[in-house]
Amino acid sequence: MITINTDKAPAAIGPYTQAKEVGGFIFTSGQIPLDPANGEVVGTEIKAQAEQAIKNVGEILKAANSSYEKVIKTTCFLANMEDFAAFNEVYAKYFTEKPARSCVAVKTLPKGVLVEVEVIAEK
């Protein structure tokens, strides 16, 4: 098992790592829309926040020698399911291979953000 960390994505805000590589697969921790440079939440609306969260995932995948195209499964958490269509607009730009996905609404997310995204990808 290999731990994946990059300073191009936000540092973990709890007792976990950005990602683990096991058996040729990358398992990322959930990424929220934090600016990796200063740890601040990016944007106040779903599109800006989705963009940043997905970019953070991309940086972790890159650090693991993987990519969006190699993503097998995503799990997406939304603070408000009314943001589903707007979230999908941003999501579709990055996950062009259409991986399997779960998308659920949750009561709250860390730092009061609107979205969190985690993935499983091939190396």
The pair of three-digit structure tokens given for residue 112, joined into one six-digit string:
């009061």
**What secondary structure letter does DSSP report for 108?**
-
Q: Please pick, among 86, 103, 120, 123, the residue that the annotation labels catalytic.
A: 103
First to last CA, the chain: 13
Residue 103 designated active-site:
yes
| Contact by Cβ (8 Å): 77, 36 | no
DSSP one-letter code for 29: P
The catalytic residues are: 103
